[in-house]
A and B are shown apart, each in its own frame.
Chain A
Amino acid sequence: MKLPKYFVLLFIICSAFMLNACAVVQPWERERLSDPNMMFDEDPMNKGAELHYLFIREGTEGGDGSQSGGCGCG
């Protein structure tokens, strides 16, 4: 399976963000980010149910992100 160009582009973007790591938000500064309302798909079961009917009624999928992503507070 050949990976397309945009994957390479994404890796470049990733690398750029990692190089930007010196401007980090410290763990003790992440109180706001640890709030559930700052998490992506904080309720994955609800998200799964929503995607259930969207994929039935629409012809596309993917690119919806992964659960949480989180604040790295742990």
Chain B
Amino acid sequence: MTDHKAGVAAVVKYYAALIPVFLLCVAINLFSQDIPESELDARINSYFDNFGVTVIYPQVSFSKKLSDNNGLSLRYLSDIISSASMKSWFKVDGITSATTRNEGGADDTPDEWRHEFGASFSQKISSGVLSLNGQYSTEHDYSSKTLSVTLSYPFAKKNTIIQTSVLFNFDKIFPQTRTWTKEKNTKNVNIGLTQIFSKNIITQFDASYIEVNGYMLDGYQVIRIINSASTYQTLEPVAPDKRIRRAIGVRTNIGITKTSSLQLGYRYYWDTWDIQSHTISAAISKNFSQWFSATLDLRHYLQTRAFFFKPQYFAVEQFMTVDSKLNSGFSDQVMLSLALKGRKSAGFPFFTNEKLSLTGSAGFYRRQNDSPDWFSHYNTLYAYLLSIGIRYNF
């Protein structure tokens, strides 16, 4: 593999490397204390950033309430990444030798295309709900299996709900430009508590413990150690093969008026790679009518760097990474979401069905690192997020 191809491919693979993390998150999001209602939901989500990366991920979810006591959910997600090698804004670079958009990357195929399948079965047990979830994700250089069990149980006339989940994730990573296949195994324990405090206030506490073993880096990234003006050494990044990640969070929803609410949140995270982060969030939701509602979300995030992260290396070290997500910095996000329900007086033939609803969101994300990205040499990443969806309850 040549250096310039490694550099280009690394940007492409920026996404694929963290897919298991995303899987964990999505799996947790499937958890609910209720039997799912019967509905069909289709979305197209998209992401565009100033590093030249475009991601389109359509997804379809089908849920069927089989009886009052159990239900089934199926989900398919397609994750299509337009590679930076084909879209990169950067000209050939003296350090990374990154190519222009016309020169292609290290992959035979210019785009990544990941397929993800998920299934969940929920069963009422006494007052609680037990859910079994499974996911499988695959692409040409990566595969992942996820299994999880969730139990939600209400207490005190359903004023208090405890949710616990245990999740196991098994990944295989076999980069196209490497000769090896490596594995990563993850165990995730999550405990949540939701408490109603009054007729207008509900709060959720959450704690996560995640133990990861195996390969946790981007197999396409490279580290260049410059020996002199004309010679250099190119190495693969190396990280500890174990990481324990912990997070605690609290969110509260306050009904300000009969039609509007304010949600406030805080999360603290720390791990054995010395990364700590603080996240604060606020969202205001408003029902403008029975048919139309909007939510404005704001989020601020602050992170320290991993103990072995360096923007540049001048000698071989035991652990090395130049991955910007392990760098220190902060980020901000603003997102506007809209929901429109069908109604008989809508005036549009298609939208007179009251079982139908449309959703859409638009967002802006900005990340500021304390040192430039290894590949783009930008400190700041800007991203635009767009989503549109349709939901049908039956």
A-side residues, CB < 8 A to B, are 1, 3-4, 6-7, 10-11, 13-14, 17-18, 20-21, 24-27, 29-33, 35-41, 43-74
Contact = CB atoms under 8 A, between A and B. Distances in A.
B157 A72 contact: yes
Given A14-B193, A66-B190, A41 B208 contact: no
Interface of B: 14-15, 18, 21-22, 24-26, 28-34, 41, 43, 45, 47, 55, 57, 59, 61, 150, 152, 154-163, 165, 187-196, 198-200, 202, 204-211, 245-249, 251, 253, 255, 258-261, 263, 265, 267-269, 271, 273, 275, 277, 279, 285-287, 293, 295, 301, 303, 306, 324-326, 331, 333, 335, 337, 339, 359, 361, 363, 365, 367, 381, 383, 385, 387, 389
A32 B293 CA distance: 15
Given A30-B199, A70-B34, A21 B385 contact: no
Contacts of B258: 32
B251 A65 contact: yes
Contacts of A38: 202, 253, 255, 261
B216 to A, nearest CB: 11
B290 to A, nearest CB: 11
Contacts of B249: 63-65
Contact of A61 (B32, B210, B255, B286): B210
Contacts of B339: 43
Given A7-B191, A63-B206, A37 B295 contact: yes
Contacts of B57: 49, 52
A32 B21 contact: no
A54 B247 CA distance: 15
Contact of B161 (A3, A7, A20, A72): A72
Contacts of B365: 53, 57
Q: List 4 tightest A-B contacts by C-beta distance, closest first.
A: A72-B158, A63-B247, A21-B156, A62-B208
Given A7-B209, A40-B204, A62-B247, A57 B159 contact: no
